[in-house]
Amino acid sequence: MRLVLDAMGGDHAPEAPVRGAVLFARERPEHEVVLVGDPARLRDSLSRGGGVPGNVHLHPASQVVDMGDQAFSAIRRKRDSSLRVGFELVRRGEAAALVSAGHSGAVMAGALLVLGRLPGVDRPAIATLLPALKGSGRCLLLDSGANVECRPEHLAQWAVLGSAYVRARLGLPRPRVAVLSNGEEPSKGTVLTRKAAELLRASDLNFVGYAEGRDLFSGDVEVVVTDGFTGNVVLKASEGVAAGMTGILRSAIERRGGLSEKLGALLLRPTFAGLKKMVDYAEHGGAPLLGIQGVGIVAHGRSSPRALQQALEAALQTAQVGGHAELTRCIAQAAAWLPVRQRGKRATGETLSD
């Protein structure tokens, strides 16, 4: 399979994407990575990285979408940006998926404007796979930040997409779906959550009602839908707690550190590795955009080479499990109960967060 990596996107571009592509290509000799960006800078980065594997390719793009750019206008104006050129490769079938650690709003805009939405989907969502402690051990949160102001049918559409994705990627036949709320009782929540829950109660999904914040990590549900504002805030707060707790451990061990603390830390190293994995969920793997005509993966802006290697791995897995074909089937099937107010791409785009 052939994957595109936006080599100019992210805080550490192009070094991190170049090194991430090389890591991936060495471990996956049967697949190919296309790095899109300024050829001179990419060659420069590649030359510093030692040998270049034969399955890493360069594709030129003269422009870059900056973090300060307005997402939709950047994709429209910068026709030779690495992001837009990368999406064009996917659209023409020259690559199976795109990964970018750049401006996430622009990744969404590129997916919408170049690839387009799946029929029956009003708004694509960013889907983040969280670690859980019991049950299936994973929970998919969507939307994680692309759509700030939402309508109930958006949440219901994401429930369909999320279920199909979890079924395909994790092999769970009937994932439990919930709407994120401030309490379990149906009387809780906002107008948005109550109307979304009403739609989902009438669906053929395995809808279990409201989930609270802690359920994201409890293993009691596999798909949780929410608006992108709440999703983003909740993800970043969770990262903050996780980073804070490992920070407390680290500083206690390093600074206060005592021989006994150091020895204790050494003995508990495998345990801490588990903790670190939980902390790193947002850094690693990348989050797929669900609801678009193709596979697009949003990676963290601060992604390291290793994180981008993981994001390419996520792109590969997502493309391999059937990409959007299964999602298309499920959304079509859901038409029986799911209202859609599909409008032009432009109208949708302009209400997205930029």
Nearer to a copy of itself by Cβ, of 93 and 187: the residue is: 187
Least distance to a copy of itself, CB of residue 218, Å = 6
Nearer to a copy of itself by Cβ, of 105 and 291: the residue is: 105
Interacting residue with a copy of itself among 82, 100, 157, 230 (CB under 8 A)? 230
Q: Which stretch binds a copy of itself (CB under 8 A): 91-99, 211-219, 284-292, 333-341?
A: 211-219
Interacting residue with a copy of itself among 57, 76, 188, 195 (CB under 8 A)? 188
Interacting residue with a copy of itself among 46, 155, 168, 180 (CB under 8 A)? 180
Least distance to a copy of itself, CB of residue 102, Å = 15
Least distance to a copy of itself, CB of residue 250, Å = 10
Question: Which 96-135 positions form the footprint of a copy of itself (CB under 8 A)?
Answer: 131-133
Nearest C-alpha neighbor of 107 from the set 129, 88, 85, 83: 83
Question: Which 233-262 positions form the footprint of a copy of itself (CB under 8 A)?
Answer: 233-245, 247-249, 252-253, 256, 260-261
Alpha-carbon dihedral 24, 27, 28, 30, rounded to 10 degrees:
140
User: Is 183 near a copy of itself (CB under 8 A)?
Assistant: yes
Interacting residue with a copy of itself among 44, 80, 149, 350 (CB under 8 A)? 149
Cα-Cα end-to-end distance for the chain: 31
Q: Which stretch binds a copy of itself (CB under 8 A): 95-103, 118-126, 232-240, 291-299?
A: 232-240
User: Is 216 near a copy of itself (CB under 8 A)?
Assistant: yes
User: Is 202 near a copy of itself (CB under 8 A)?
Assistant: no
User: Is 354 near a copy of itself (CB under 8 A)?
Assistant: yes
Cα–Cα dist 218/133, whole Å: 6
User: Is 268 near a copy of itself (CB under 8 A)?
Assistant: yes
Interacting residue with a copy of itself among 15, 212, 283, 326 (CB under 8 A)? 212
Sheet holding 176-180, edge to edge: 56-60, 32-37, 2-6, 97-100, 295-298, 287-290, 125-131, 138-142, 223-225, 176-180, 206-211
Cα–Cα dist 47/240, whole Å: 37
Least distance to a copy of itself, CB of residue 101, Å = 16
| 101, 301 Cβ separation under 8 angstroms | yes
| 150, 164 Cβ separation under 8 angstroms | no
User: Is 321 near a copy of itself (CB under 8 A)?
Assistant: no
Alpha-carbon dihedral 213, 307, 137, 125, rounded to 10 degrees:
50
Which residues contact a copy of itself by CB under 8 A? 131-133, 145, 148-149, 180-183, 187-191, 212-218, 226, 228-230, 232-245, 247-249, 252-253, 256, 260-261, 263-268, 270-271, 274-275, 278, 353-354
